[in-house]
Structure 1
Amino acid sequence: MNILITGATSGIGKQLALDYAAAGHHVIACGRNEQALAELERTDSAHIAGQKLDISDAEHTLQALRAYTDIDVVILAAGVCEYLDIEAFEADLFARVFEVNVVGTMRCVEALLPNLKSGSKLVIVGSTARLLPFTRAEAYGGSKAAIHYITRSLQVDLARRGIKVLHVSPGFVETPMTAQNDFEMPMQVSVEFASEAIRKGIDKNKIDITFPRVFGWFLKFASRLPQSWQVALSRRMT
């Protein structure tokens, strides 16, 4: 298969690129870090091709991704996280996070969608952070809630074209991004675990790929509680 992955220079995206390449698939690894892209290509030059890409750059993203006309699986894993300081509320923080996590991701869809065929898979990586009102996560959780809704709507609208749209909701995964967190991260998993869960879910065409399972079940259950309970629960977890 031909698999295009954004956010492939670190974290989940990088592990997915390595694992798919090891399985013999051709991977287009997209990311901002040219050195990391070069290292990926050196790891498996027969199966990995690097594509420098900053999805916040509209013109370059559209131009670069429109060139790929034979893609079986698209995995949009690029994303950023910034936490809000409620005592120094900054609207621009929301603009920065949404620009990458929502607008940038949809920019990739805009560029790639015309060339996707019946049977292609569009995989969009969100987060379990969308399920509860976590402290300081207004921008990040809000962006992932938006991505979840958009993905569900795409599942409806692209069904007629035979394009499968899958949503990924990871819990805490050990990556350079989560390494910056200064709080406890329960049930944190490795990137190897995350990659395996995502690849298995894609193989099975699961429209909701959530992991780790127990953590996901807990948050989904909690998200069905009355809103006042959800707020109280999140305050206790702070």
Structure 2
Amino acid sequence: MKSITWLVGASTGIGAALVNELAADAETLYISSRSADKLNTLAEQHSNVKVLAFDVNDATARKQAIAEIEQQSGRLDCIVLNAGTCEYVDLELGDTDLSLYQRVLDTNFHAPVALTHEALYLLRKSDNARIVGISSSVIFTPLPRSQAYGSSKAAFTYWLSTMAIDLKGEGIRVQIVSPGFVDTPLTQKNDFKMPFLLSPENAAKRIRKGIQRNQTHIHFPWRFTALLLIEGLLPLSWQHALNSKLSRNKSDNSKPVSTHTKSH
């Protein structure tokens, strides 16, 4: 039986590519993001795709979207949590804008956690329910400038893992996706080399295949994630020493040390 699937974070990048992949396996595929125009363009290509445009950080809008799925489909078989953002912490530039931590954690952790709990009663109406969370390979080892992004994805991954444990008895499967670098509007802002860069279409195909195979942890490309996984097995002091070579924040005794931070 084909599924009732909800893809959250569908307008660009991996999400937009996942629309084509997930629509093929769905009775109905609901797609969401803040950008209604982009969602409508994607939906025009599929007769079984329906648009639910809203801001994932808006609690009222989340509940309205869930109510609409319940009214139209009565259940939810799969929710794919792909909405996300990335902001880097540049310590070498001086005072840090602390509000970036809140923005990143809200979108990458607080919002998908809340949405899943709010939609859980619809998943419980399914005979084959699953939660798919798009995390990141940044979780395998601490990387420079990733204080906010890495923390949000580490928290998200831990939460997904604990949900897998507590929902196993109900037959609800939880799958974690940890991609390497994918060519998306977010990564196109990066000003550093991204090894083994994949297209969104390639990433989406790998995610769909992993979902179909019921893989608990879908991570790719292997040449990249294997290196990070191996490094993550090393003592933390070794990881810090290795990854500090990639840091832009170098010691400079000639610069004055800032003694305060400011929040915007």
TM-score normalized with structure 2 length: 0.86
2:225 paired residue number: 216
1:95 paired residue number: 102
Distance 1:107 1:67 in 2: 17
Deviation at 1:24, TM superposition (A): 5.9
Alpha-carbon contact 2:136-2:179 (below 8 Å) kept: yes
1:114-133 correspondence runs (5 A): 114-116=121-123, 117-133=126-142
Alpha-carbon contact 2:4-2:27 (below 8 Å) kept: yes
Q: Deviations over 1:78-108 (max 9, x none)?
A: 0000011212223211111001100011121
Distance 1:2 1:57 in 2: 23
**1:73 correspondence with 2:78:** yes
2:262 paired residue number: none
RMSD across aligned positions (CA)? 1.3
1:31 maps to a residue whose letter is S
Alpha-carbon contact 1:75-1:123 (below 8 Å) kept: yes
Paired residue total: 237
Deviation at 1:67, TM superposition (A): 3.2
1:1-238 correspondence runs (5 A): 1-22=3-24, 25-44=27-46, 46-69=47-70, 70-86=75-91, 87-116=94-123, 117-238=126-247
Deviation at 1:39, TM superposition (A): 0.5
Pair 146,24 (structure 1): closer, same or farther in 2 beyond 3 Å: closer
Q: Which moved more, 1:63-72 or 1:98-107?
A: 63-72
Give aligned-pair identity as a percent.
35
Q: Deviations over 1:179-205 (max 9, x none)?
A: 011111001111111111111111111
Q: What SS is found at the alignment partner of 2:128?
A: coil
Pair 96,118 (structure 1): closer, same or farther in 2 beyond 3 Å: same
Alpha-carbon contact 2:56-2:107 (below 8 Å) kept: yes
Deviation at 1:23, TM superposition (A): 5.2
Deviation at 1:40, TM superposition (A): 1.1
Q: What SS is found at the alignment partner of 2:214?
A: coil
TM-score normalized with structure 1 length: 0.95
2:69 maps to a residue whose letter is Y
Distance 1:20 1:168 in 2: 15
Deviation at 1:152, TM superposition (A): 0.6
Q: Deviations over 1:112-138 (max 9, x none)?
A: 111113421110110001122111110
Alpha-carbon contact 1:55-1:107 (below 8 Å) kept: no
Distance 1:66 1:91 in 2: 35
Q: Deviations over 1:61-90 (max 9, x none)?
A: 122124323222110000000011212223
Q: 5+ unaligned residues in a row in structure 2: which ranges?
A: 248-264
Q: What SS is found at the alignment partner of 2:83?
A: coil
Distance 2:38 2:244 in 1: 39
Q: 5+ unaligned residues in a row in structure 1: which ranges?
A: none
Distance 2:33 2:234 in 1: 39
Distance 2:67 2:207 in 1: 25
Q: What SS is found at the alignment partner of 1:133?
A: coil
Greater radius of gyration (CA): 2
Alpha-carbon contact 1:73-1:120 (below 8 Å) kept: yes
